[in-house]
Structure 1
Amino acid sequence: MTEALALRPRHRWTVAEYHRMAEVGLLHEDSRVELIDGEIIEMAPIGSEHAGHNNHLLSLLAYHLHGKAIVTGQNPVILGGYEEPQPDIALLRWRNDYYRTAHPHAEDVLLIIEISDSTLRYDRDVKIPLYAKNGIPEVWLLDIQNRQLEIQREPINGVYRQRDCRRAGQIAPILCPDAVIDLAKLFPNP
Protein backbone atom coordinates (compact mmCIF):
# COMPACT_ATOMS: atom_id res chain seq x y z
CA MET A 1 0.00 0.00 0.00
CA THR A 2 1.38 3.37 -0.91
CA GLU A 3 1.86 6.02 1.75
CA ALA A 4 -0.73 8.30 0.11
CA LEU A 5 -3.33 5.50 0.17
CA ALA A 6 -2.58 4.79 3.84
CA LEU A 7 -3.46 8.43 4.65
CA ARG A 8 -6.88 8.25 2.97
CA PRO A 9 -9.87 7.87 5.28
CA ARG A 10 -11.40 4.41 5.39
CA HIS A 11 -15.04 3.50 5.67
CA ARG A 12 -15.86 1.94 9.03
CA TRP A 13 -18.66 -0.61 8.82
CA THR A 14 -21.28 -0.48 11.55
CA VAL A 15 -22.59 -3.61 13.21
CA ALA A 16 -25.91 -3.05 11.41
CA GLU A 17 -24.16 -2.80 8.01
CA TYR A 18 -22.10 -5.89 8.83
CA HIS A 19 -25.27 -7.85 9.62
CA ARG A 20 -26.90 -6.57 6.43
CA MET A 21 -23.93 -7.85 4.39
CA ALA A 22 -24.60 -11.32 5.78
CA GLU A 23 -28.34 -11.03 5.11
CA VAL A 24 -27.81 -10.22 1.42
CA GLY A 25 -25.11 -12.87 0.97
CA LEU A 26 -21.98 -10.72 0.86
CA LEU A 27 -20.72 -12.59 3.91
CA HIS A 28 -21.41 -16.28 4.10
CA GLU A 29 -22.53 -17.90 7.35
CA ASP A 30 -19.39 -20.02 7.41
CA SER A 31 -17.09 -17.01 6.90
CA ARG A 32 -14.55 -16.80 9.70
CA VAL A 33 -14.57 -13.02 10.16
CA GLU A 34 -15.26 -10.56 12.93
CA LEU A 35 -15.87 -6.82 13.03
CA ILE A 36 -13.15 -4.88 14.87
CA ASP A 37 -13.22 -1.08 14.91
CA GLY A 38 -15.40 -1.06 11.80
CA GLU A 39 -13.11 -3.33 9.79
CA ILE A 40 -13.91 -6.87 8.75
CA ILE A 41 -11.03 -9.00 10.00
CA GLU A 42 -10.40 -12.53 8.79
CA MET A 43 -9.91 -14.93 11.67
CA ALA A 44 -7.10 -17.48 11.78
CA PRO A 45 -7.95 -21.14 11.18
CA ILE A 46 -8.46 -23.16 14.34
CA GLY A 47 -5.84 -25.85 14.93
CA SER A 48 -6.55 -29.06 16.82
CA GLU A 49 -4.76 -27.99 20.03
CA HIS A 50 -6.68 -24.71 20.08
CA ALA A 51 -9.97 -26.55 19.46
CA GLY A 52 -9.18 -29.10 22.17
CA HIS A 53 -8.50 -26.39 24.77
CA ASN A 54 -11.68 -24.61 23.69
CA ASN A 55 -13.74 -27.80 24.03
CA HIS A 56 -12.18 -28.62 27.42
CA LEU A 57 -12.86 -25.16 28.88
CA LEU A 58 -16.39 -25.04 27.47
CA SER A 59 -17.13 -28.40 29.08
CA LEU A 60 -15.66 -27.45 32.48
CA LEU A 61 -17.38 -24.08 32.62
CA ALA A 62 -20.75 -25.43 31.45
CA TYR A 63 -20.57 -28.11 34.16
CA HIS A 64 -19.86 -25.57 36.92
CA LEU A 65 -22.25 -22.88 35.71
CA HIS A 66 -25.30 -24.81 34.52
CA GLY A 67 -28.35 -22.65 35.22
CA LYS A 68 -26.21 -19.75 36.54
CA ALA A 69 -24.60 -18.33 33.40
CA ILE A 70 -24.59 -18.96 29.65
CA VAL A 71 -21.32 -20.46 28.39
CA THR A 72 -20.83 -19.80 24.69
CA GLY A 73 -18.06 -20.59 22.24
CA GLN A 74 -16.98 -18.60 19.20
CA ASN A 75 -20.20 -16.60 18.98
CA PRO A 76 -20.56 -12.85 18.45
CA VAL A 77 -20.64 -10.26 21.20
CA ILE A 78 -21.65 -6.71 20.22
CA LEU A 79 -19.36 -4.19 21.87
CA GLY A 80 -20.59 -1.00 20.30
CA GLY A 81 -21.57 0.40 16.96
CA TYR A 82 -18.42 -0.78 15.18
CA GLU A 83 -17.35 -3.93 16.99
CA GLU A 84 -18.59 -7.49 17.00
CA PRO A 85 -15.76 -9.86 17.92
CA GLN A 86 -16.21 -13.60 18.25
CA PRO A 87 -14.28 -14.57 21.37
CA ASP A 88 -13.29 -18.19 21.83
CA ILE A 89 -15.39 -18.40 24.99
CA ALA A 90 -17.72 -15.96 26.70
CA LEU A 91 -19.53 -16.32 30.01
CA LEU A 92 -22.75 -14.37 29.82
CA ARG A 93 -25.39 -13.28 32.31
CA TRP A 94 -28.17 -15.83 32.52
CA ARG A 95 -31.13 -15.27 30.20
CA ASN A 96 -33.96 -17.72 29.78
CA ASP A 97 -33.92 -17.27 26.00
CA TYR A 98 -30.18 -18.11 25.77
CA TYR A 99 -29.73 -14.92 23.69
CA ARG A 100 -31.95 -16.20 20.86
CA THR A 101 -33.58 -12.80 20.38
CA ALA A 102 -30.38 -10.72 20.26
CA HIS A 103 -26.64 -11.12 20.45
CA PRO A 104 -25.15 -10.30 23.84
CA HIS A 105 -23.69 -6.84 24.45
CA ALA A 106 -20.80 -5.75 26.67
CA GLU A 107 -23.02 -5.43 29.75
CA ASP A 108 -24.04 -9.10 29.38
CA VAL A 109 -20.45 -10.40 29.54
CA LEU A 110 -19.02 -11.80 32.78
CA LEU A 111 -15.76 -13.18 31.32
CA ILE A 112 -14.12 -13.54 27.93
CA ILE A 113 -11.50 -16.19 27.21
CA GLU A 114 -9.23 -16.02 24.18
CA ILE A 115 -7.17 -19.09 23.35
CA SER A 116 -3.95 -18.18 21.60
CA ASP A 117 -1.42 -20.13 19.66
CA SER A 118 -0.71 -18.30 16.40
CA THR A 119 -2.87 -15.29 17.40
CA LEU A 120 -1.12 -14.28 20.64
CA ARG A 121 0.02 -10.84 19.49
CA TYR A 122 -3.35 -9.99 17.90
CA ASP A 123 -5.23 -11.11 21.00
CA ARG A 124 -2.94 -9.09 23.32
CA ASP A 125 -2.58 -5.96 21.20
CA VAL A 126 -6.02 -5.68 19.59
CA LYS A 127 -8.68 -7.76 21.32
CA ILE A 128 -7.78 -7.30 25.00
CA PRO A 129 -7.64 -3.48 24.70
CA LEU A 130 -10.97 -3.64 22.85
CA TYR A 131 -12.49 -5.60 25.73
CA ALA A 132 -11.04 -3.17 28.30
CA LYS A 133 -12.35 -0.17 26.34
CA ASN A 134 -15.83 -1.70 26.44
CA GLY A 135 -15.76 -2.49 30.16
CA ILE A 136 -15.58 -6.29 30.00
CA PRO A 137 -14.86 -7.07 33.67
CA GLU A 138 -12.41 -9.91 33.11
CA VAL A 139 -10.44 -11.48 30.25
CA TRP A 140 -8.39 -14.65 30.30
CA LEU A 141 -5.77 -15.25 27.63
CA LEU A 142 -4.81 -18.91 27.43
CA ASP A 143 -1.32 -18.85 25.93
CA ILE A 144 -0.87 -22.38 24.56
CA GLN A 145 2.76 -22.02 23.48
CA ASN A 146 3.98 -20.73 26.85
CA ARG A 147 1.56 -22.93 28.83
CA GLN A 148 0.20 -20.08 30.92
CA LEU A 149 -3.01 -18.24 31.66
CA GLU A 150 -2.95 -14.45 31.65
CA ILE A 151 -5.72 -12.90 33.72
CA GLN A 152 -6.78 -9.28 33.24
CA ARG A 153 -9.35 -7.58 35.47
CA GLU A 154 -10.70 -4.17 36.50
CA PRO A 155 -11.00 -2.19 33.27
CA ILE A 156 -10.54 1.53 33.85
CA ASN A 157 -10.21 4.05 31.02
CA GLY A 158 -9.62 1.32 28.44
CA VAL A 159 -6.89 -0.50 30.38
CA TYR A 160 -7.00 -3.44 32.75
CA ARG A 161 -5.57 -2.39 36.12
CA GLN A 162 -5.08 -5.87 37.51
CA ARG A 163 -2.92 -8.34 35.57
CA ASP A 164 -1.75 -11.75 36.63
CA CYS A 165 -0.08 -14.69 34.93
CA ARG A 166 -0.39 -18.28 36.16
CA ARG A 167 1.01 -21.63 35.17
CA ALA A 168 -0.29 -23.66 38.11
CA GLY A 169 -2.94 -23.59 40.81
CA GLN A 170 -6.62 -22.89 40.56
CA ILE A 171 -8.51 -19.91 39.19
CA ALA A 172 -12.16 -18.86 39.07
CA PRO A 173 -13.80 -15.92 37.31
CA ILE A 174 -14.46 -13.07 39.75
CA LEU A 175 -18.14 -12.95 38.77
CA CYS A 176 -18.56 -16.76 38.77
CA PRO A 177 -16.54 -17.97 41.76
CA ASP A 178 -18.10 -21.46 41.60
CA ALA A 179 -16.37 -22.17 38.28
CA VAL A 180 -12.96 -23.21 39.61
CA ILE A 181 -10.50 -24.29 36.93
CA ASP A 182 -7.43 -26.35 37.82
CA LEU A 183 -4.57 -25.22 35.59
CA ALA A 184 -2.88 -28.62 35.93
CA LYS A 185 -5.78 -30.04 33.92
CA LEU A 186 -5.35 -27.39 31.23
CA PHE A 187 -1.60 -27.92 31.03
CA PRO A 188 -0.93 -31.58 31.85
CA ASN A 189 2.71 -32.62 31.93
CA PRO A 190 3.94 -33.33 28.38
Structure 2
Amino acid sequence: MTVTLVRHQFTVQQYHQMADAGILTENDRVELIRGEIINMSPIIPKHSGCVIFFTNLLVLILQKLAIVSVHNPVVLNEISEPQPDIALLKPRADFYRNSHPQPEDIFLLIEVADTTVKYDREVKISLYAEANIPEVWLVDVNQEVIEVYRNPIDGIYQDVKNLGKNQVLSILAFPDVNINVSEIF
Protein backbone atom coordinates (compact mmCIF):
# COMPACT_ATOMS: atom_id res chain seq x y z
CA MET A 1 0.00 0.00 0.00
CA THR A 2 1.39 3.36 -1.02
CA VAL A 3 0.75 6.38 1.16
CA THR A 4 0.52 9.73 -0.55
CA LEU A 5 1.37 12.69 1.62
CA VAL A 6 -0.76 15.72 1.04
CA ARG A 7 0.79 19.11 1.63
CA HIS A 8 -1.26 22.17 2.30
CA GLN A 9 -0.11 25.24 0.42
CA PHE A 10 -0.59 28.60 2.08
CA THR A 11 -1.10 31.94 0.39
CA VAL A 12 0.65 35.11 1.53
CA GLN A 13 -2.72 36.25 2.90
CA GLN A 14 -3.14 33.07 4.98
CA TYR A 15 0.47 33.37 6.15
CA HIS A 16 -0.23 36.91 7.41
CA GLN A 17 -3.45 35.72 9.07
CA MET A 18 -1.40 33.12 10.98
CA ALA A 19 0.81 35.94 12.24
CA ASP A 20 -2.23 38.08 13.15
CA ALA A 21 -3.71 35.13 15.07
CA GLY A 22 -0.44 34.55 16.97
CA ILE A 23 0.25 31.18 15.35
CA LEU A 24 3.44 32.67 13.92
CA THR A 25 5.30 35.32 15.89
CA GLU A 26 8.16 37.75 15.26
CA ASN A 27 10.43 35.22 16.96
CA ASP A 28 9.66 32.50 14.40
CA ARG A 29 12.44 32.51 11.82
CA VAL A 30 10.34 31.36 8.87
CA GLU A 31 9.54 32.44 5.35
CA LEU A 32 6.88 31.45 2.83
CA ILE A 33 8.37 29.74 -0.24
CA ARG A 34 6.06 28.37 -2.93
CA GLY A 35 3.23 28.07 -0.42
CA GLU A 36 5.27 26.22 2.23
CA ILE A 37 6.39 27.67 5.54
CA ILE A 38 10.13 27.06 5.69
CA ASN A 39 12.33 27.33 8.78
CA MET A 40 15.32 29.58 8.24
CA SER A 41 18.80 28.49 9.34
CA PRO A 42 20.50 29.96 12.40
CA ILE A 43 22.83 32.84 11.59
CA ILE A 44 26.52 32.32 12.32
CA PRO A 45 28.96 35.25 12.83
CA LYS A 46 30.50 34.91 9.35
CA HIS A 47 27.03 35.32 7.85
CA SER A 48 25.89 38.19 10.05
CA GLY A 49 29.20 40.01 9.61
CA CYS A 50 28.83 39.85 5.84
CA VAL A 51 25.27 41.22 6.06
CA ILE A 52 26.40 44.02 8.38
CA PHE A 53 29.27 44.91 6.03
CA PHE A 54 27.02 45.03 2.95
CA THR A 55 24.35 47.02 4.79
CA ASN A 56 26.77 49.71 5.94
CA LEU A 57 28.56 49.87 2.59
CA LEU A 58 25.37 50.11 0.52
CA VAL A 59 23.81 52.74 2.78
CA LEU A 60 26.98 54.81 2.55
CA ILE A 61 27.44 54.44 -1.22
CA LEU A 62 23.84 54.74 -2.34
CA GLN A 63 22.54 57.23 0.24
CA LYS A 64 19.19 58.44 -1.14
CA LEU A 65 19.29 56.45 -4.40
CA ALA A 66 17.92 53.29 -2.80
CA ILE A 67 16.52 51.89 0.43
CA VAL A 68 18.59 49.11 2.01
CA SER A 69 16.29 46.58 3.68
CA VAL A 70 17.77 43.87 5.90
CA HIS A 71 16.06 40.54 6.69
CA ASN A 72 12.65 41.87 5.70
CA PRO A 73 9.98 40.22 3.54
CA VAL A 74 9.39 40.80 -0.13
CA VAL A 75 6.16 39.57 -1.74
CA LEU A 76 6.98 37.82 -5.00
CA ASN A 77 3.54 36.38 -5.77
CA GLU A 78 0.47 34.97 -3.99
CA ILE A 79 2.40 32.05 -2.45
CA SER A 80 5.94 33.34 -1.85
CA GLU A 81 7.19 35.87 0.67
CA PRO A 82 10.89 35.23 1.25
CA GLN A 83 13.11 37.27 3.54
CA PRO A 84 16.35 37.88 1.68
CA ASP A 85 19.34 38.99 3.71
CA ILE A 86 19.41 42.32 1.90
CA ALA A 87 17.00 43.93 -0.54
CA LEU A 88 18.00 47.06 -2.41
CA LEU A 89 14.70 48.85 -3.02
CA LYS A 90 13.41 51.78 -5.01
CA PRO A 91 12.87 54.80 -2.77
CA ARG A 92 9.33 55.31 -1.56
CA ALA A 93 8.03 58.09 0.69
CA ASP A 94 6.37 55.60 3.06
CA PHE A 95 9.53 53.45 3.36
CA TYR A 96 7.27 50.43 2.65
CA ARG A 97 5.22 50.96 5.82
CA ASN A 98 1.97 50.37 3.91
CA SER A 99 2.96 47.23 2.01
CA HIS A 100 5.90 44.91 1.59
CA PRO A 101 8.05 45.44 -1.51
CA GLN A 102 7.07 43.55 -4.64
CA PRO A 103 9.22 42.60 -7.66
CA GLU A 104 8.80 45.97 -9.40
CA ASP A 105 10.21 47.69 -6.27
CA ILE A 106 13.45 45.69 -6.21
CA PHE A 107 16.81 46.68 -7.70
CA LEU A 108 18.83 43.85 -6.15
CA LEU A 109 18.44 40.96 -3.69
CA ILE A 110 21.39 39.55 -1.76
CA GLU A 111 21.38 36.12 -0.14
CA VAL A 112 24.33 35.40 2.15
CA ALA A 113 24.84 31.67 2.62
CA ASP A 114 27.01 29.38 4.68
CA THR A 115 24.99 26.18 5.19
CA THR A 116 22.21 26.99 2.69
CA VAL A 117 24.15 27.55 -0.54
CA LYS A 118 22.55 24.61 -2.36
CA TYR A 119 19.01 25.54 -1.22
CA ASP A 120 19.50 29.22 -2.06
CA ARG A 121 20.92 28.39 -5.49
CA GLU A 122 18.34 25.77 -6.42
CA VAL A 123 15.19 27.13 -4.78
CA LYS A 124 15.45 30.82 -3.98
CA ILE A 125 17.44 31.96 -7.02
CA SER A 126 14.96 30.25 -9.36
CA LEU A 127 12.08 31.78 -7.41
CA TYR A 128 13.62 35.23 -7.89
CA ALA A 129 14.12 34.58 -11.61
CA GLU A 130 10.47 33.56 -11.98
CA ALA A 131 9.49 36.85 -10.31
CA ASN A 132 11.74 38.78 -12.75
CA ILE A 133 13.99 40.23 -10.07
CA PRO A 134 16.61 41.96 -12.26
CA GLU A 135 19.64 41.04 -10.17
CA VAL A 136 20.48 38.64 -7.33
CA TRP A 137 23.76 38.01 -5.56
CA LEU A 138 24.44 34.74 -3.76
CA VAL A 139 27.31 35.34 -1.35
CA ASP A 140 29.01 32.06 -0.42
CA VAL A 141 30.91 32.95 2.75
CA ASN A 142 32.65 29.55 2.89
CA GLN A 143 34.06 29.61 -0.65
CA GLU A 144 34.45 33.43 -0.58
CA VAL A 145 32.70 33.74 -3.92
CA ILE A 146 29.80 35.88 -5.08
CA GLU A 147 27.49 34.44 -7.71
CA VAL A 148 25.86 37.24 -9.71
CA TYR A 149 22.56 36.46 -11.44
CA ARG A 150 21.11 38.89 -14.01
CA ASN A 151 18.70 39.12 -16.94
CA PRO A 152 15.84 36.74 -16.05
CA ILE A 153 13.98 35.37 -19.07
CA ASP A 154 11.20 32.80 -18.69
CA GLY A 155 12.18 32.13 -15.07
CA ILE A 156 15.88 31.53 -15.73
CA TYR A 157 18.77 33.94 -15.24
CA GLN A 158 20.61 34.28 -18.54
CA ASP A 159 23.74 35.96 -17.17
CA VAL A 160 25.53 34.20 -14.31
CA LYS A 161 29.01 35.11 -13.11
CA ASN A 162 31.17 33.93 -10.21
CA LEU A 163 33.38 36.61 -8.72
CA GLY A 164 36.21 35.97 -6.31
CA LYS A 165 38.86 37.97 -4.52
CA ASN A 166 40.35 40.95 -6.36
CA GLN A 167 37.45 41.04 -8.81
CA VAL A 168 35.07 43.97 -9.02
CA LEU A 169 31.37 43.73 -8.36
CA SER A 170 28.96 46.32 -9.73
CA ILE A 171 25.23 46.83 -9.28
CA LEU A 172 23.20 46.61 -12.47
CA ALA A 173 20.94 49.53 -11.46
CA PHE A 174 23.94 51.64 -10.39
CA PRO A 175 26.80 50.76 -12.75
CA ASP A 176 29.10 53.44 -11.31
CA VAL A 177 29.13 51.64 -7.97
CA ASN A 178 32.08 49.25 -7.78
CA ILE A 179 32.91 46.95 -4.88
CA ASN A 180 36.08 44.91 -4.65
CA VAL A 181 35.11 41.36 -3.64
CA SER A 182 38.21 41.18 -1.41
CA GLU A 183 36.64 43.83 0.86
CA ILE A 184 33.66 41.57 1.55
CA PHE A 185 35.61 38.62 2.86
Q: Structure 1 CA distance, aligned partners of 2:2 and 2:79? A: 25
Q: Which letter does structure 2 place at the counterpart of 1:4?
A: V
Q: Structure 1 CA distance, aligned partners of 2:102 and 2:129? A: 14
Secondary structure at 1:151 match in 2: strand
Deviation at 1:179, TM superposition (A): 3.2
Secondary structure at 1:85 match in 2: coil
Deviation at 1:5, TM superposition (A): 2.7
Please state if 1:60 is matched with 2:51.
no
Q: Structure 2 CA distance, aligned partners of 1:26 and 1:186? A: 38
Please state if 1:152 is matched with 2:146.
no
Q: Aligned match of 1:30 in 27, 30, 34?
A: 27
Which residue of the partner structure matches residue 177 of structure 2? 179
Q: Structure 2 CA distance, aligned partners of 1:114 and 1:177? A: 20
Q: Structure 1 CA distance, aligned partners of 2:19 and 2:129? A: 28
Q: Which letter does structure 1 place at the counterpart of 2:146?
A: L
TM-score (norm 1): 0.94
Which residue of the partner structure matches residue 105 of structure 1? 102
Which residue of the partner structure matches residue 81 of structure 1? 78
Which residue of the partner structure matches residue 161 of structure 2? 164
Q: Structure 2 CA distance, aligned partners of 1:120 and 1:105? A: 24
Secondary structure at 1:67 match in 2: helix
- Within-5 A mapping of 1:35-54: 35-54=32-51
Q: Do the aligned partners of 1:78 and 1:85 also contact (CA within 8 Å) in 2?
A: yes
TM-score (norm 2): 0.96
Q: Structure 2 CA distance, aligned partners of 1:46 and 1:178? A: 31
Q: Which letter does structure 1 place at the counterpart of 2:29?
A: R
Deviation at 1:3, TM superposition (A): 5.2
Q: Which letter does structure 1 place at the counterpart of 2:142?
A: Q
Tell me whether 33-42 or 172-181 shows the greater mean CA deviation: 172-181
- Which consecutive unaligned segments of at least 5 residues does structure 1 have? none
Q: Structure 2 CA distance, aligned partners of 1:3 and 1:117? A: 37
Deviation at 1:176, TM superposition (A): 2.0
Q: Do the aligned partners of 1:173 and 1:179 also contact (CA within 8 Å) in 2?
A: yes
Which residue of the partner structure matches residue 3 of structure 2? 4
> What whole-Å deviation, never above 9, does each CA across 1:157-187 have from its counterpart, x for those lacking one?
0100001001022211101224321111112
- Which consecutive unaligned segments of at least 5 residues does structure 2 have? none
Please state if 1:18 is matched with 2:18.
no
Deviation at 1:30, TM superposition (A): 1.4
Q: Do the aligned partners of 1:110 and 1:175 also contact (CA within 8 Å) in 2?
A: yes
Q: Do the aligned partners of 1:60 and 1:181 also contact (CA within 8 Å) in 2?
A: no
Q: Which letter does structure 2 place at the counterpart of 1:155?
A: P
Q: Which letter does structure 1 place at the counterpart of 2:175?
A: P
Q: Structure 1 CA distance, aligned partners of 2:19 and 2:2? A: 32
Work out the number of aligned pairs and report it.
184
